[in-house]
Chains A and B, each alone.
Chain A
Amino acid sequence: MHPAPSVILFTSLSGLGFGLLFWLGFGYPGVTGGTAFVFFAIAYLLAVGGLMASTFHLGKKSNAIKAFSQWRSSWLSREAWLAVISLIIMGLYGAGLVFLGTRWTLVGYVGGLLSLATVFSTSMIYAQLKSIPRWNMPLTPALFLSYGLAGGALLSGQIATTKALLLVLALVQVAYWALGDRALITSGTSMASATGLGKIGAVKAFEPPHTGTNYLLREMVYVVGRKHSAKLRIISLLLVAVLPMACLLLPFNHLLAALAVISHIAGVFAARWLFFAEAEHVVGLYYGKR
């Protein structure tokens, strides 16, 4: 799949933002006043910034408001609703903390859970697609939730929780890569089933429909950079988990904490780029590609 910058920014940043809102909702850290304002401002910048980025790739932005209409059937629509409701409830909860110094516990719990549900619905936009076997796995929501929870814990400054969650994240990410590499083969979709000609013999693409490229190939048969995937996997794992973990294991200082955060965010971008670039859409089989 084409790793569009708008979609990488959207899923990465909003995942971190809603992950942070989840922890803030449950009172980690238990801040009020100006400090609370800073935490909430960071969370809102990430979450809202990510959501804004997601609209960049729309062909007709004037119809974007209609995306709220199909929550009964569409995960994208559900995500839109959950994001807006979470942001409103967490805004109310944050206002209590910042301006009144009061913690409305129940409001925080509800807002925190809805923030996590937003991350889940983002992941389901991808996990629901049978046409992309690498995404069509229960590990996809597990992956997005791990990223949101670990990144949120890191941003909220909980060192012990972050260490545990970074370990979980690394394990889920490695499992996702291992299972994902077999997903297309185990899906049963092949050139033989795509063309129905497998009964006659071995099917080979002889001539594409057009001499030039097209929307389908640009959008869904993205193969640039796949040869570097092994290296990029190692780099992203180092940045997202290993380096932040090392920073947190050393005696605490603010410079190391900042390094851990920067490294983690850079790692999230690299891993998310791979999430899209490595995903094979079965339509590629019609072109003899994967």
Chain B
Amino acid sequence: MTTLPTGTDRKLGLVIDLDTCVGCHACVISCKGWNTENYGAPLSDQDAYGDPSGTFLNRVHSYEVEPAEGAAQLIHFPKSCLHCDDAPCVTVCPTGASYKRTEDGIVLVNESDCMGCGLCAWACPYGARELDLAAGIMKKCTLCVDRIYNENLPEEDREPACVRTCPAGARHFGDFSDPESDVSRLVAERGGFDLMPEQGTKPVNKYLPPRPKDKLETEAPAALPAVATETTGFLSWLDKTLDRLPGGGAN
């Protein structure tokens, strides 16, 4: 059913720390790996050895942000499905393939119902859904629903592949409906924000802003002064000898 639930028991999602992300794309690769080898149609590539293009559920952009004063910053920006409370991708679906789960708020596609019309990808302002060209059906982040509840995996692996693999600790997984959860506290302490709030999608995933940078000196440092004025010994002799050579004597 493609009407949205009035509320969900839990709100599982991600916090992405833009201060910590180093832009290594490990989350992109682990996501593609897990979701190709496990649940659902694999994430295909087309013309992999020519002009390659493929399906990804997580992509890392990089932005240059230039403040009014001071140096420009480079910010790496991973983006995947935000599992919106008011998900426009779900309500447009004509076949009932797209749905938002009542128990944990994860937005999923039932692949056996999808007809690959692509309207949900049009409805998503974030570009979180991609039509797989080999399978002809819509793919999206499942929040690794086949990992997080999977009792065959060791407990530390029961989180999304992108979170598990992030070497910088820039991705956090948890329940936003619990104000005491790690993710809720991170958002409260660090001023977590929504992407495109004006679109009214009420995304569950939050982004943490980069911390303020140290201010660099705006003027170039002056020429280094001589450290010692009276010198003795070998280095003093070398200094004076070099000064006497043609072209020497500066500083």
Contacts and interface: CB of A to CB of B under 8 A. Distances in A.
Interface stretch (A73-81, A171-179, A253-261): A73-81
Interface in A226-267: none
A201 B213 CA distance: 13
B196 interface: yes
A102 interface: no
A35 interface: no
A224 interface: no
B174 interface: no
A236 B195 CA distance: 38
Nearest to B92: A74
Contacts of A59: 114-118, 131-133, 135-138
Nearest to A282: B125
Interface stretch (B51-59, B155-163, B224-232): B51-59
Interface residues of B, number: 69
Interface string A210-228: 1011111001100000000
Contacts of A68: 94
B193 A196 contact: yes
B56 A209 contact: yes
Interface residues of A, number: 59
Given A57-B117, A201-B65, A216 B60 contact: no
Nearest to B213: A200
B115 A208 contact: no
A216 B96 contact: no
16 contacts: A1-B122, A58-B115, A59-B138, A70-B2, A128-B92, A130-B200, A189-B199, A195-B195, A197-B18, A201-B72, A204-B64, A205-B62, A209-B59, A219-B131, A283-B126, A286-B127
Interface of B: 1-3, 18, 28, 51-56, 59-68, 72-75, 77, 79, 88, 91-97, 112-119, 121-127, 130-133, 135-138, 193-200, 207, 209-210
Interface of A: 1, 57-64, 66-70, 72-77, 80, 125, 128-132, 187-189, 193-197, 199-210, 212-216, 219-220, 281-283, 286-287
